[in-house]
Each structure stands twice: as C-alpha cells, then as structure tokens.
Amino acid sequence: MTETDVECAKQDEPSQVTATVEIFIMGKRYDVPIGFTIMKAIEFAGYQYIRSCGCRAGFCGACATVYRKGQEQKLHFALACQCLVEEGMYLVQIPFVPANKALYDINDLAPEDNTILTIYPEIARCVSCNTCTKSCPQDIKVMMYIQNSLRGNIAKAAELSFDCIQCGLCAMRCPADIKHYHVSQLARRLRGKYIDPESKELNARLKELEEGKYMDEVDEMMSMDRDIILNLYKKRKIEAQGDLDEGADA
C-alpha cells in the first residue's frame, strides 16, 4: 500500500480516521462520528427525514428525541438538531404528538383568574410530580407555569413558558394528561392581547403597511427574475450581523 493509497483510504473511510461513538437508532447499532448532532448522525446512518425535522436550528420543535444511555435508569429528552451524540445512546424520534387543542376566539376571552382553567380544566389534575419539567429540552419550569395557570397568574405563566417551542414532550410524559404547551400558548396569547401594554411602535408600523408604504418595493421585486431575487437574498443585511460578505452563507 502506497502512501498515497493510505491518504486516499483516510478520506474515503472516515471511520478509520475519525473518532466514532456507538449509538442505537430504534434498536439498531451504528457507529457515527463524534461531534455530530443526533440529527446529522441519523442521516449519516442512512435515514432520510420525512417527519421529525424542521428548522435544524433549535427553534421549530419538530425534532423531539427520547433517549437512554446504556444501562442508565433515567430517560433523557432532547432536540435532535441541538444535542450531540454520545456513546451508547438508544434513540427514538417522536414525529407527532397527539395533543388536542381547545377551540377559542381570543377576542371573546378576558384575562380572568379562571380563564385558563375553564378552557383547559385538566390542569387541575396536576399532582406536582414535575415530570413535565424534567422532559423539557428547553429547561422550562413547565410544572411551575401550569401551577401559575391554575391560580390565574397568566402573566407569570406566559413569562415562564416564553422559550417553549412546542415539541410536545411534556404532554407525552404527563401522568395527568395535561397538554402543557397548548396551555402556555393560551397564557401567552392572553398576556399579549390583554395584559401587556400595547406597542405604539407596532401600531405605527401596521398603519404604514396598511397605507401601502412599501408597495413600490414589493411591486419592484415581483417583476424581478428569480436569479436576481436569489442574489439579493444572499446579500441581504441581517440585523446585528452587519453586511454579509458576498457568498458567505453559500
């Protein structure tokens, strides 16, 4: 074997040059490169996502993952796009959470002490076991926001649940069958509409839009070629990041 051959082999067979970890995807064993996210590792193993995958950036909540490491007693919970693989992970993805959502018209509600309890009465079944909190990949104090909802503290429930991305793991784990993330969405809607002060800036901007302030730019863009629009998108200015160098996100 020539030196060149060896180098080729290194490039072609990453398992020989890259440290790997052993993981189990739905019970089947794979060696995947260390440093991969769970999501990348599953794709590396040859799976193609149809569900359980969305933004790949920790925001959409589509890639809820349940795993256990080796012989550990405890179950762990994560977002596949955010969590790195570890030795001995037994993984399963949760593609969908059957969690019925109450129908309500936010305009017909008032932020009363019992508004949330009336719409989601099952929150009164909470036994404070805290299993929801322990299953949250966002480290939200889930039980505490349910408790605050129960006692009519809508503002606090909204605040505590602010980082919820609705992956649904809490609802899958609850022994009282509470659909936590729908409850907290109601809390945030009530707070946004009725409790927090109205945003003057938002109203001003909405008025501008209604008056057609940006319609010239929209019309101009609608007449552009696709390639020009793509190029403009690549060169767009991202807030807090300044001007991107040309082709930087290619």
Partner 1 sequence: MDMLYYPGCTLKTSAKNLEASAIAIAEKLGYKLVEMDDWNCCGVVASLTSDDLMHHLASLRNLIRVEEQGQDKVLVLCDMCYNTLKQTDIRMKASQSDLDTLNSFMDEESDYKNTVKIMHFLEFLRDEVGFATLKKKVKKPLKGLRVMPYYGCMLLRPREVAIDDAEDPRILSDLIKALGAKVVDNPYKIECCGSYRTIDQKELTSRRAKSISSYASTHDADLIMLSCPLCQYNLDVRGKEAESMYDGYSQLPTLYFTQLIALALGLDVESLGLDSHAVDPAPILRKRGVID
Residues that bind partner 1 (CB under 8 A): 113-114, 126-130, 133-134, 143-144, 147, 150-153, 175
CB nearer to partner 1: pick between 39 and 142: 142
Residue number, 131 or 231, with CB nearest to partner 1:
131
Least Å distance between CB 71 and partner 1? 17
Residue 59 is which amino acid? F
CB of 164 to partner 1, least distance (A): 18
Cβ nearer to partner 1, comparing 129 with 215: 129
Virtual CA dihedral for 87, 90, 95, 101, nearest 10 degrees?
-110
Shortest CA distance to 70 belongs to which of 86, 47, 46, 51?
86
Residue closer to partner 1 by CB (options 130, 203) is: 130
CA 19 to mean position of chain CA atoms: 29
Distance CA 146, CA 153 (A): 10
**Cβ closest to partner 1, residue 129 vs residue 228:** 129
Query: What is the smallest separation between the CB atom of 113 and partner 1, expressed in angstroms?
Result: 4
CB pairs under 8 A, 24+ apart, for 96-99?
96/51, 97/64, 97/167, 97/168, 97/169, 97/171, 97/172, 99/168, 99/171, 99/179, 99/181, 99/182
Closer CB to partner 1, residue 150 or residue 164? 150
150: which 2 tokens?
Answer: 């129960």
Work out how close the CB of 72 gets to partner 1 at its nearest, in angstroms, rounded to a whole number.
13
Q: Match 């989601």 to its residue by tokens.
A: 120
CA dihedral (117, 122, 126, 130) positive or negative: negative
Half-sphere exposure in the Cβ direction for 85 (13 Å, CA): 29
- Residue 134 and residue 143: Cα distance in Å, rounded? 9
Instruction: For the CB of residue 242, give the shortest distance to partner 1 in the complex, in Å.
Output: 41
The nearest distance, CB 111 to partner 1, in angstroms, is 13
Nearer Cβ to partner 1 (34/176): 176
Minimum distance of partner 1 from residue 236's CB (angstroms): 43
Name the one residue in this structure whose structure tokens are 């909470």.
126
